[in-house]
Amino acid sequence: MSTNEKKVIKHRILDKHPIVGIILLTVLALFMIQGFIGGVLGVGIALVLGLPQEPILYISMVVSAFIMLAIHKRWFYPEYEGSISFDNRFGKWLIVTIAILLALIIPDFIIMTVTGTNFVAPSIKSILVALVAGTTEETIFRGIPASYAMRHFNDRKKLPLVIGITSLLFSLIHATNIFAGASVSATLLQLLTSFGIGTTLCALYFRSGNIILPMLLHFLYDVYALMNADSVTEAGVLDASLTVKDLTANLIILVIEIAITLYLLRGPVLDDLTEIWKKKWNK
């Protein structure tokens, strides 16, 4: 039975106000993953089983991200094919993902090494923190709202709007780090750099059609970032005052992020991108 012959669920608010829909889906995913499914249930399981809360909470949030992706796919059934796909393009985009990672961390590592930054080996906690960030944030800000946006704005002229909105929301969530002890200057810089990496992650998702790859890039990049013992806590908070080297390194990385985004979304490939998302939405 074709998609047209199957019953399509009506989404009156989302269909009528797609930009509002992007924001609402982001808030819903945030609440469900970090609040209800990942938070409340995770703590509940830990209490019932008598297990340490922190690692169980981390694991439950990772699992909740994939549960939300499954719910999102079912919610838009039979239109949407889902945010995860392993087709013959996966190998190519896995290589591209690793190349992007190296393009981001090598310049930063050189600057930090020259300026004498102290690096530490990743701990189990920092790896778990990075894994939670990579899976949950990619689901909350790209896997659900960005894929939904392509249902309405799958047009080369409207891509900047979609990427801009989702990256802005991703950036703003990092403002909450100030309540976790981050300095004001570091928080402001992180808002800027989060927007930059948000555009890159969104562009990678749109080109590959697979949320696993932005998750992988986000996870590995955060593992590296948490190795900076001078500025970042094990929980991922920028607790140090902003220094010239931090500002220089982050601005260089921001330029690289924007350059990568522009390359991924260069004119000649946009027809291929829109075709991928037409197929994902069965149009």
35 inside domain: no
25 inside domain: no
What is the tens place of the pLDDT at every residue in 33-66? 988 887 788 888 888 888 888 888 999 999 999 9
262 inside domain: yes
3-state per-residue secondary structure call for the chain: CCHHHCCCCCCHHHHHCHHHHHHHHHHHHHHHHHHHHHHHHHHHHHHHHCCCHHHHHHHHHHHHHHHHHHHHHHHCCCCCCCCCCCCCCHHHHHHHHHHHHHHHHHHHHHHHHHCCCCECCCCHHHHHHHHHHHHHHHHHHHHCHHHHHHHHCCCCCCHHHHHHHHHHHHHHHHHHHHHHCCCHHHHHHHHHHHHHHHHHHHHHHHHHCCCHHHHHHHHHHHHHHCCECCCECCCCCECCCCCHHHHHHHHHHHHHHHHHHHHHCCHHHHHHHHHHHHHHCCC
Stretch 144-169: mean pLDDT, rounded? Answer: 94
Which range has the worst mean pLDDT, 78-87, 117-126, 229-238? 229-238
pLDDT above 80: residue 132: yes
246 inside domain: yes
21 inside domain: no
pLDDT above 70: residue 240: no
132 inside domain: yes
pLDDT above 60: residue 5: no
Q: How many domains does the chain have?
A: 1
pLDDT above 90: residue 20: yes
The model carries a pTM of 0.91
119 band by pLDDT with thresholds 50, 70 and 90: confident
**Domain, as residue range, for 264:** 87-280
161 inside domain: yes
Stretch 1-8: mean pLDDT, rounded? Answer: 54
48 inside domain: no
pLDDT above 90: residue 229: no
What is the tens place of the pLDDT at every residue in 164-173? 999 999 999 9
